[in-house]
Amino acid sequence: MVGVAILIPYTVSEKQDLSIQECVKNLREIDKAMRLWQLDNSKPMDAPVTFAEIVEYLAEGVSTNCPSGGLYVVTGLTNPPMCTFPGHALSNEGGD
């Protein structure tokens, strides 16, 4: 029974870490799509942008959904894309 008590928190923590990594990967791809949209449309750095405008610029296979159920938010080129799930942000990239 003690082994189970130790295993469950480790498994939950590992799953959370994987979710954060996947979310950050998606956020990086969304940021790339924002930059491609900017270049293709000759937009200035302070231009507003919506998620709908950049969807076609996302690489094939990139999820538009956070694996933890958060929502991705895109507001403008001066702001990085965000996730509404706590702890999921491009600043969580770590040492890639």
- Give the separation between CA 72 and CA 80, rounded to whole angstroms: 11
What is the per-residue pLDDT for 39? 97
Nearest by Cα to 53 from 33, 24, 81, 23: 33
What is the per-residue pLDDT for 36? 97
Q: For residue range 20-65, list pLDDT tens digits in order.
A: 999 999 999 999 999 999 999 999 999 999 999 999 999 998 999 9
pTM of the model: 0.78
- Give the separation between CA 54 and CA 94, rounded to whole angstroms: 26
Q: Provide the residue ranges of all domains of the chain, joining segments of one domain with +.
A: 2-86
Q: For residue range 53-88, list pLDDT tens digits in order.
A: 999 999 998 999 999 999 999 999 999 999 999 989
Q: Which residue has the tokens 């959904």?
A: 65
